[in-house]
């Protein structure tokens, strides 16, 4: 008889044969930085997550560094918006100020910027609007201006999330031609038009004022299309390929892991976070165990990097162990 239970008998043997392990090294922590002063606002739909202004964020960054979390992903919330999101390439904009602040005061922390327009446009879409839709090719030059501005501010990596066709080639060319050939790109390569983003739009003040994003984000029904999207970004020069969301798209994470010789990231998004927090608050689940199991499933599926609002909670647990 095959007795697979032999290797489950004690905790120590289970540790020895464990195939996947979650570590602090796997984690990126998202941060929301709002233009203004004395801002520290809890996001109601994301318990434990806040918006900070630069004069209040040091306590949060101190904790991130103390927990040895290697990287943060920044989202900027500007004080003014316009039709094209011009604050994204303002060298004195909130994202640029945040990068300079963190790199000056926390030089060992790896800083990644989200590259998009939805928080900065008056209409909440991810580019220039023509005929009630995002004009892909008209948006690309503005993406280039945005990443060059982030690069000049001193960012360590850019992460374009807008799902514009050709955006990775545009970014790579822009960076190479302006003296930043070594700045890496983490592409939101396979990003679905998902209902799991709901709480994020409260956090980043980025909900569209009309329509939705289904003309540029992917249909959740499609798996093969994800491979095409990732292939294009790989060919255009992405250094890391990301899948977003994570928990309902573990098959896509595994597809990318099996087919690309690049690091694979996934984004454990706001809705996934909020569901666990809400159920735990009701006493329906064990928050710590469910959180760790969910993140481990992403690692098991093939993710090398996990962007998660749980990063601090996970780090505390792992350091305690």
| Number of other CB atoms surrounding residue 110 within 10 Å | 16
229 annotated as a binding-site residue: yes
**Distance in angstroms (rounded) separating the CA atoms of residues 206 and 126:** 9
116 annotated as a binding-site residue: yes
The catalytic residue among 97, 104, 145, 244 is: 244
118 annotated as a binding-site residue: yes
201 annotated as a binding-site residue: yes
CB 129 within 8 A of CB 122: no
| Number of other CB atoms surrounding residue 86 within 10 Å | 18
By C-alpha distance, which of 108, 15, 121 is closest to 69? 108
Distances (CA, A) of 275 to 28, 145, 196, 285, 294: 20, 37, 9, 11, 12
| Number of other CB atoms surrounding residue 260 within 10 Å | 19
Residue 244 falls in the annotated catalytic set:
yes
Extract the tokens encoding 247: 């928990």
Show the DSSP H helices in the chain as ranges: 11-17, 58-66, 94-105, 136-153, 167-177, 198-204, 224-236, 250-259, 270-281, 287-301, 311-320
The catalytic residue among 191, 257, 277, 312 is: 191
Residue 175: strand pairing partners: none
289 annotated as a binding-site residue: no
Distances (CA, A) of 12 to 3, 15, 16, 213: 18, 5, 6, 48
Residue 321 falls in the annotated catalytic set:
no
Extract the tokens encoding 57: 């964020």
Binding residues, as ranges, are 116, 118, 126, 201, 213, 229, 270, 309
Give the active site residues: 191, 244
> Which residues are part of a known binding site for Mg(2+)?
229
Positions at the binding site for 5-aminolevulinate: 201, 213, 270, 309
Q: Can you say which residues are annotated as belonging to the binding site for Zn(2+)?
A: 116, 118, 126
């Amino acid at each position: 008889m095959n007795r697979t239970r032999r290797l489950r008998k004690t905790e120590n043997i289970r540790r020895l044969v464990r195939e996947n392990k979650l570590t602090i090294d796997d984690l990126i922590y998202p941060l929301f930085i709002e233009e203004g002063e004395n801002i520290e606002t809890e996001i109601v739909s994301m318990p434990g997550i806040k918006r900070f202004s630069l004069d209040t964020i040091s306590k949060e960054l101190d904790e991130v560094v103390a927990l040895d979390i290697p990287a943060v992903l920044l989202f900027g919330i500007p004080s003014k918006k316009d039709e094209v999101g011009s604050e994204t390439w303002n060298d004195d904009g909130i994202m640029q100020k945040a990068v300079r602040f963190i790199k000056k005061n926390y030089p060992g922390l790896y800083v990644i910027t989200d590259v998009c327009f939805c928080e900065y446009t008056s209409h909440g879409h991810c580019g220039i609007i023509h005929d009630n839709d995002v004009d892909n090719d008209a948006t690309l030059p503005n993406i280039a201006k945005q990443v060059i501005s982030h690069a000049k501010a001193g960012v360590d990596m850019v992460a374009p999330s807008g799902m514009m066709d050709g955006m990775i080639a545009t970014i790579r060319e822009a960076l190479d031609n302006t003296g930043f050939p070594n700045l890496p790109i983490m592409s939101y390569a396979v990003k679905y038009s998902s209902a799991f983003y709901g709480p994020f739009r409260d956090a980043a003040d980025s909900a569209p004022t009309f329509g939705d994003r289904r003309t540029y984000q992917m249909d959740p029904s499609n798996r093969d299309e994800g491979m095409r999207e990732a292939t294009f970004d790989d060919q255009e020069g992405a250094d890391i390929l990301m899948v977003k969301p994570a928990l309902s798209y573990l098959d896509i994470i595994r597809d990318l892991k099996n087919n690309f010789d690049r690091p694979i990231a996934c984004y454990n998004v706001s809705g996934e976070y909020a569901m666990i927090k809400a159920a735990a608050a009701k006493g329906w689940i064990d928050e710590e165990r469910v959180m760790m199991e969910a993140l481990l499933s992403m690692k098991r599926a093939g993710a090398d990097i996990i962007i998660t609002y749980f990063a601090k909670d996970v780090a505390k647990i792992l350091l305690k162990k």
